[in-house]
Structure 1
């Protein structure tokens, strides 16, 4: 090896040793390089090899040797003498063109995978004459990091980071490609817009971490249903979209939608509990509904919202009517932005009625939009738009001020004390200016804070608990009452609500609706009332529409009711009419100790019912008849029943089954079985669990039966008296606690006012002391209650004037000035000085009393 080659370490395979790691033997056909070429080759900061005209490697530098060794490349193709052109694969033809001088240069990227690493390399070829013959220079570089970075960027640009599904942009690209394929080959395609039901409630209640976990599970379930040709994407939030290509007809999409609905109705596991979400799906079909991607997606989205409007957990195809509704909704949202400035909003008021007195105790203010062309628009059609646009904060402030003003007008009209409740939105609760907004509404209207109640939903309380507690604490310190609306529809519990400074809970109308027929709803409502009372919270039942619901709620000691049974929401003038006429629940609707005893007889034999009725009529009972369990439940829903006597063996429902249901829904009734048939075990179990008070047999002894029924009524009335007394005590305690709280608030405010007054007085006295003119203050009796230093020097003679009476310490002319009218004054001279003395009565612009005497120095005559 020559000196230059030895110094450079270039492996040529000729005149020196071959590189140990690539070619341990001398490579036949290798060429000797000139010294200057060898030096240049070795100095290049790259992995370089030289090829002869046949594509064999004739020389490499140290960088190539390291690169080939670390990359575990084959010696047969990458060592000296190796047939590199055989490793070029699809690039071999281009390499031959480079060697032949037909191409200036060429490069490509290829991969090489080892057991523990995936590598990417860029190969660059340029023509180069080697020892006077055509050849090529080859440079390899590791571009693995660059390729990985490109792949990461591609992933970020095209896939959702949470679920790994295609994002909106990539999905739209795929959809346009599939539509082009569909147009070319005349194939149908469906787009399914899938939105989770109730996801927002769970996300707000249990937190975003649980929400993200649910979205991942949701995406996995959808992916499991997809065919290889389908495309699933996530558009953000809880919106997923699916493309179903190659359909014969639109009905094939129905089968997929049904399968998805069933699959997504199964519970999801998160936060160590089963969570039920479900989904609503909208379907649009190409080319039936639209032939472009944007319109097809919009139609599927519109159909999805229609599915939600129809009750959720279902699917809907797009129809032209839906598109018209979507456009109408868009126009409505546009008009909504101008509704406040055009004074198109108004409030309706639904009364809340006491279950104890039957009188109106308050109103809930409900927002309505009086649209100039559409007429009265209800909140369900525009509240969501207010929330999304952020207008809810401004509109909410208007609602607060309007409701407070209206209540003050009613109080000034002599309608007595009532309260008004206003719903707060999530946006309002998060508004940092909420406290100032509420305070402004109270100050502007002059309404006492205790007459205002703010209603919040469960999900709002759970959203950011610590911040909410702080905000509610500030509201309570203003004297405002707070309640939870729609209780029972979220994921909170009454025990959790102990953390919040609340005054009341409102039972959601969904439980009240079936309270007389569904034992579960009856149990939930009764449990809410009982637990709320144990936490000293008032209970208001919403959506009361029947006497049966009212009767059951009163029996369960509900405090107040609200619903169409008493009155729908009314404009202010009509609501004032209710107050003026003093409308209340009738005595028949309220509990009454003097009401007639009510007995329900249930038997499938008409002659038995007739015999019992003849026997018991003499005892003065109101007797109701039913020929089976179902009819018995209907009678109970319409009437407040005290005692029930039921046969055991009846078709459709046995007496024990019937009375078990009655115990759950109407636990305060007394239940008796009168039967000639005895199934001992079921009767014993029913008695042990309290479903049956007594078991009597047929045939009966008339007098003994009458005595047992009389005893049952006495038992019922004693229990009613105990419950009534307990309820009255609880009501009195709550009213006393509320009164104490109001008194504490008033005293605290008085104390704060005194502190402010004392501070103001100290400041005023300090200011007056610094005035260089004599000033004296008198109370209404003429006692000097203030004299500054200048006054003491002028009139005190070394003795402070404070505490003396005017006639004792002041000259007669000055003391007489106190009796003069305002605006008068006298000239007075003393100690060589001349003064203009005036006296002013205080109290015209403040709560001060008495008079103030001012001495103004007059210039001496020359």
Structure 2
């Protein structure tokens, strides 16, 4: 097939037709020769005289008849043979047209080259070749296909193609080729030799498939496997490889490798206040700034969300690596401009060193994370180095988290209630529900240990719903028993607000327990309100419309913005115990407490003081016209059964200016 193409550029695939012609010509020659030989033999008269004893005259007559028979028989045989020949030619031509049409219609580019050793000129290309490469057929016939490679002659796949032509065998490679307009496309090339009757390679057939889209897709996947799509920094996978290379280098040259993990302080506030697009823009700027503060041989990677990692090596001591990380934190402290606004952030960082803190990639990352966790616990903009005792703290935290998860599943948590007393009548008006964890092995675990952990892990959401449901069930049961109705306050965390389903949770709990909404109070801190003020406002308006009471807890310890007291549908503010502790001895605390009480009343809000522990404090608060108090002076937080007994007995706080001030009395 290819030999005929080389000889006849305008009519490819002619070999089968030529072979058919030769076969039928040979058949005609053989048959005709046999017939003529037979005729000559008969014409000689020998067979007639020998077999039948015919005379010459009679033999002459028979020879004449034989001659006519020969003419007729020859004509008939020639007719049959030529007819068969013409039919076979037509069949071959039809097959050739079909093959030719298939090649011309192929979506893959097909080219045929003549084998001339070092040079392999093109003798045929199909229309798909013209479409894919942009080169007209007339411009490429006679040229070596190497022009498709452009200047890119050192591609890895070319060696396979060269080896295939040297060894006269089939070959395959994916190559970068260049179109007529100079654009690049990826060519999935298959070549195969064409041999003549003696086994010599006369031509090569090449089939080209444009796989640019597939190759681009694979490149994108490969990029995504190793790089962060937002910041275009290496991701964790590539970081681990780079750390491994740095360790290998450090082992050879006896140097130090530093692995630092950097985390943005309170990044959620950026997203909530400025929006996620601004948050993404900040991460891009932050990535660029971190890169600008490290050396070109160091690696900066994004591990996820607001966490980055720096791998620095070729240091002779830890001080040099530490100063580099410290420089990064200092640079981060400068303002970023986002949407024409200046945004200030801080970061914490944890650092671990090879070889003293870890001998492999995983251990270094683990130690750096431990150091980061310690830095975050100490505040903002803190740099902390790994120390072995951190592992014990991290393990303790891990164990406590597992125990807390089991406690939630096994219903180990309990609610205690701390009464809230009216400072005018001494009556119990309500209580705050406080979580307690009596662990079967560790005993009573302080809320200061497990509440922050619940916040970090998200367990505060199911714990918060359980607290609300249990408090509402207890309150409803007390009312059903005929006890005086009281308002039970339940703390709400930022996580419960951020989930967006707090209203539906409250509705479901109230419906399931049958409690009137006015006897449920949700307590939230100033920081919860200010983190996403607009969304929180909408949620609080819906809750207030349901009839639920709303209070600001720990007032004065958060953002201390007074505008939200006017904007938000709040009924009560709770003065933080830090201001109550020294109100009888510290004029500043006394002034603050009086100011909060006055401010609350001017906004038609009730004011309750937390942490009241002495009769002197009670006397001060009553003189300042504070509405209610909560604290050990009247009662510690008590189990539900004890609080029910307190209500049933009608106990109240008796006010007396004499020695008996603050005596509990049953009514």
TM-score range, shorter chain: 0.5 to 0.7
Q: Quick one: which of 300, 303, 326 aligns to 1:258?
A: 326
Structure 1 residue 133: Cα displacement = 5.9
Matches within 5 A, 1:394-405: 394-400=462-468, 403=471
Query: Do residues 89 (structure 1) and 153 (structure 2) align?
Result: yes
Please say if residues 494 and 531 of structure 1, whose CA atoms lie closer than 8 Å, have aligned partners that are also in contact.
no
Please say if residues 205 and 459 of structure 1, whose CA atoms lie closer than 8 Å, have aligned partners that are also in contact.
no
Which residue in the other structure is 2:237 paired with?
Answer: 169
Q: Quick one: which of 214, 235, 241 aligns to 2:303?
A: 235
Q: Distance in 1 between matches of 2:511 and 2:597?
A: 32
Please say if residues 597 and 625 of structure 2, whose CA atoms lie closer than 8 Å, have aligned partners that are also in contact.
yes
Structure 1 residue 369: Cα displacement = 2.0
Q: Distance in 2 between matches of 1:400 and 1:357?
A: 28
Q: Quick one: which of 100, 124, 127 aligns to 2:166?
A: 100
Query: Do residues 48 (structure 1) and 111 (structure 2) align?
Result: yes
Q: Quick one: which of 165, 171, 193 aligns to 1:127?
A: 193
Deviates more, 1:378-387 or 1:111-120: 111-120
Which residue in the other structure is 1:218 paired with?
Answer: 286
Superposed CA RMSD in Å reads 5.5
Deviations along 1:699-727, one digit per CA (max 9) or x if unpaired, are xxxxxxxxxxxxxxxxxxxxxxxxxxxxx
Structure 1 residue 46: Cα displacement = 0.7
Q: Secondary structure at 2:297's aligned position in 1? A: coil
Structure 1 residue 188: Cα displacement = 2.5
Which residue in the other structure is 1:376 paired with?
Answer: 444
Which residue in the other structure is 1:194 paired with?
Answer: 262
Distance 1:58 1:370, change over 3 A: closer
Please say if residues 55 and 135 of structure 1, whose CA atoms lie closer than 8 Å, have aligned partners that are also in contact.
no
Structure 1 residue 90: Cα displacement = 2.9
Structure 1 residue 420: Cα displacement = 3.6
Q: Distance in 2 between matches of 1:83 and 1:116?
A: 15
Q: Quick one: which of 46, 61, 64 aligns to 2:125?
A: 61
Structure 1 residue 212: Cα displacement = 2.9
Q: Quick one: which of 317, 321, 333 aligns to 1:249?
A: 317
Deviations along 1:458-516, one digit per CA (max 9) or x if unpaired, are 56557887886676456445543112335677789655666653313456678999999
Structure whose residues are more often helix by fraction = 2
Q: Distance in 2 between matches of 1:114 and 1:351?
A: 86
Structure 1 residue 324: Cα displacement = 0.8
Please say if residues 557 and 576 of structure 2, whose CA atoms lie closer than 8 Å, have aligned partners that are also in contact.
yes
Please say if residues 196 and 239 of structure 1, whose CA atoms lie closer than 8 Å, have aligned partners that are also in contact.
yes
Deviations along 1:536-590, one digit per CA (max 9) or x if unpaired, are 34455667999999999999987667679x789644569969x958277989xxx
Q: Quick one: which of 138, 142, 146 aligns to 1:80?
A: 142
Structure 1 residue 338: Cα displacement = 3.2
Matches within 5 A, 1:804-843: none
Deviations along 1:302-352, one digit per CA (max 9) or x if unpaired, are 211111112232021222211111111111122213335766434455666
| Structure 2 gap segments, 5+ residues each | 15-95, 659-667
Aligned residues: 557
Please say if residues 293 and 331 of structure 2, whose CA atoms lie closer than 8 Å, have aligned partners that are also in contact.
no
Which residue in the other structure is 1:339 paired with?
Answer: 407
Distance 1:563 1:255, change over 3 A: farther
Please say if residues 48 and 63 of structure 1, whose CA atoms lie closer than 8 Å, have aligned partners that are also in contact.
no
Q: Secondary structure at 2:154's aligned position in 1? A: helix
Matches within 5 A, 1:505-654: 505-506=573-574, 535-539=603-607, 570-571=637-638, 582=653
Structure 1 residue 393: Cα displacement = 4.9
Deviations along 1:218-241, one digit per CA (max 9) or x if unpaired, are 323222223222222222222222
Q: Distance in 2 between matches of 1:65 and 1:156?
A: 33
Q: Distance in 2 between matches of 1:57 and 1:473?
A: 82
Structure 1 residue 394: Cα displacement = 4.8
Query: Do residues 437 (structure 1) and 500 (structure 2) align?
Result: no
Q: Distance in 1 between matches of 2:294 and 2:273?
A: 31
Distance 1:3 1:317, change over 3 A: closer
Q: Quick one: which of 368, 376, 386 aligns to 1:300?
A: 368
Structure 1 residue 285: Cα displacement = 1.7
Structure 1 residue 147: Cα displacement = 2.2
Q: Secondary structure at 2:241's aligned position in 1? A: helix
Q: Distance in 2 between matches of 1:112 and 1:146?
A: 17
Please say if residues 176 and 184 of structure 2, whose CA atoms lie closer than 8 Å, have aligned partners that are also in contact.
no
Q: Distance in 2 between matches of 1:271 and 1:339?
A: 46
Q: Distance in 2 between matches of 1:96 and 1:584?
A: 104
Deviations along 1:350-398, one digit per CA (max 9) or x if unpaired, are 6667788999865433323233444432334222444566654553354
Deviations along 1:234-260, one digit per CA (max 9) or x if unpaired, are 222222222222332333332123222
| Structure 1 gap segments, 5+ residues each | 11-34, 588-862
Q: Distance in 2 between matches of 1:414 and 1:380?
A: 35
Deviations along 1:68-122, one digit per CA (max 9) or x if unpaired, are 973799x8xx663458389672366655433333553242422549998554444
Distance 1:351 1:581, change over 3 A: closer
Deviations along 1:590-642, one digit per CA (max 9) or x if unpaired, are xxxxxxxxxxxxxxxxxxxxxxxxxxxxxxxxxxxxxxxxxxxxxxxxxxxxx
Q: Distance in 2 between matches of 1:339 and 1:200?
A: 28
Please say if residues 485 and 508 of structure 1, whose CA atoms lie closer than 8 Å, have aligned partners that are also in contact.
yes
Query: Do residues 70 (structure 1) and 134 (structure 2) align?
Result: yes
Distance 1:226 1:468, change over 3 A: same
Structure 1 residue 455: Cα displacement = 0.9
TM-score norm. by structure 2 comes to 0.65
Please say if residues 120 and 143 of structure 2, whose CA atoms lie closer than 8 Å, have aligned partners that are also in contact.
yes
Please say if residues 352 and 562 of structure 1, whose CA atoms lie closer than 8 Å, have aligned partners that are also in contact.
yes
Q: Secondary structure at 2:257's aligned position in 1? A: strand
Please say if residues 455 and 484 of structure 1, whose CA atoms lie closer than 8 Å, have aligned partners that are also in contact.
yes
Distance 1:367 1:49, change over 3 A: same
Which residue in the other structure is 1:597 paired with?
Answer: none
Distance 1:568 1:320, change over 3 A: farther
Which residue in the other structure is 1:28 paired with?
Answer: none
Matches within 5 A, 1:437-836: 437-441=509-513, 443=515, 449-457=517-525, 472=540, 475-476=543-544, 479-486=547-554, 495=563, 500-506=568-574, 535-539=603-607, 570-571=637-638, 582=653
Distance 1:153 1:401, change over 3 A: closer
